[in-house]
Structure 1
């Protein structure tokens, strides 16, 4: 069984009998916008949606990159057009929706993927560092979803909103105040949109990917796996299963599934995916409660807080397991015993 077939089995999708490399879905006739889709994860999403039959509006800030992305889709028999503009301003969101309608007649799917990084610790982060990341990720998601929702509600046939989050937004990460705030905000908006858009049969979900991209190649812990993927090598089980870390193509199947009719009953969810792992993130919820007649003052808190909540204080950051020792090291340790 191929990796693609395995993904299809896990997600309940059908694999075409005439090919082992393509997942067929009910996306024919659908029209999608994928922001930040010139390369990396966004390109994988756009290519997968097009392979499933959707017409795609590709978005990037680089004309050549956008044109190359469109060419890759059309060369494979898909339909695509490009709109080059930075995500964030309302004008870009309106232009993207207009491009979908003018080129393909409608809009059914929006994937908000565009993003940038300006990593540095809190005390060194400038206003521009913060504003740039929040503008692209958070405001860009808001403006694009707002315009898409207006169009989808006018059409009256439902729709799919898929917003890309991050483990950093779920757990935090050193040096990423701006990125963590934006990605956490995206998931919060998704939960709200799931309620607001339900009557219009528009679903809203977040995908939390972990994959080898330009953003993760700068993380030392992932470098060896990113380098392996760049060389076309298969990532080891430790990366794909223990870390849940894989390629952009590993994530694309989940995005296409959420865009399809098969996911009509799924909304307001944060779905993690990477390598061989598929996960459902919980919503924040109370893990312990306590009551005090008259409320809680300083004295009561200083006396009781540790006994009440000390054992259930929540951790922060992504726990990174120790990678397995190389085979040579294991053999040497056995001999030493």
Structure 2
């Protein structure tokens, strides 16, 4: 077990993807600090890891503030003597289209996802530097942050911001030997459970059956456990040369996402004025404009969702 002797914090790990990440880190030898806002859920997660033969403790608190970030790091050190790995998974959703989204909807999601990642990473990196630990930081992004998604202004902003911070942190942490990456999971969650497109995949998973190949292979959509292996790998010594990356995992698929690059470049001596753009933009760039939003393949007939029962 390559993570034997390591200690990990996984935020938002009482259930779902976070719990899968925590259990896999534990299976590979790490002691784990579980984090959730529900004390009963956190206790159940700890008990599950201990039943598997691992070691875990819980911090019951919502991430976002510096105080909670400090509490998480202090708990790891007090209970297990050190910290080596941080996985910032905690998140909430408040999906609404732009005109229906309130300030509170926006602020809550940004506070948990974006600020929570910032405060926890800052606290973990401070510990790593002070104690000469070549630690591993794994943030959680989303296809929404990479491509956009209807009704998720707040979530898209947070997830895109996380990847932006990762690229910056990779520069700042390189000298200390600390790696920082973002994982882009595509898996059955409470959110995808409500999307009719994924109905057959989620139902199969809930029955304990393998998802149809169309979802696993063609869409790269799978279970939480399909993502957990990548989390543990990036937390290991074997991944010491991987940093500043956005890496997708889902079903049978693994992807390295490109960072934004210019799709087309043109020069004009003296710069580009309004009239110049009116006259030239479409001819130069009209066929090079970039797509937005995720585009799903058509579902095969046998995988289309069941029609809602008539009332």
TM-score, normalised via structure 2 length: 0.96
- Residue 136 of structure 1 is aligned with which of 112, 117, 133? 112
- Residue 57 of structure 2 is aligned with which of 76, 81, 94? 81
The Cα shift of 1:118 comes to: 0.2
User: Match for residue 163 of structure 2?
Assistant: 187
User: Match for residue 309 of structure 2?
Assistant: none
- Residue 280 of structure 1 is aligned with which of 238, 244, 256? 256
Alignment of 1:1-337 (within 5 A): 25-326=1-302
Aligned mates of 1:268, 1:114 — CA distance in 2: 20
Aligned mates of 1:26, 1:194 — CA distance in 2: 23
The Cα shift of 1:157 comes to: 2.4
For structure 2, the residue ranges without an aligned partner over 5 or more in a row are 304-311
Aligned residues: 303
Aligned mates of 2:83, 2:235 — CA distance in 1: 12
User: Match for residue 308 of structure 2?
Assistant: none
Aligned mates of 2:302, 2:203 — CA distance in 1: 17
Aligned mates of 2:191, 2:74 — CA distance in 1: 30
64-73 vs 216-225, which moves further: 216-225
The Cα shift of 1:298 comes to: 1.0
- Per-residue displacement from partner, 1:43-83 (whole Å, max 9, x unpaired)? 00000000000000000000000000000000010000000
Aligned mates of 2:209, 2:61 — CA distance in 1: 34
SS at match of 1:217: helix
The Cα shift of 1:227 comes to: 2.0
- Per-residue displacement from partner, 1:115-143 (whole Å, max 9, x unpaired)? 00000000110000000000000000000
User: Match for residue 17 of structure 1?
Assistant: none
- Per-residue displacement from partner, 1:261-311 (whole Å, max 9, x unpaired)? 110000000000000000000000101001111111111111111111111
- Per-residue displacement from partner, 1:66-105 (whole Å, max 9, x unpaired)? 0000000000100000000001011110000000000000
Q: Which ranges of 4 or more aligned residues in structure 1 deviate by more than 4 Å?
A: none
Aligned mates of 1:55, 1:293 — CA distance in 2: 60
The Cα shift of 1:326 comes to: 2.6
* Cα-Cα RMSD: 0.9
The Cα shift of 1:223 comes to: 2.5
The Cα shift of 1:193 comes to: 0.6
The Cα shift of 1:215 comes to: 2.0
SS at match of 1:319: coil
Aligned mates of 1:249, 1:150 — CA distance in 2: 30
For structure 1, the residue ranges without an aligned partner over 5 or more in a row are 1-24, 328-337
TM-score, normalised via structure 1 length: 0.89
The Cα shift of 1:154 comes to: 1.1
SS at match of 1:278: strand
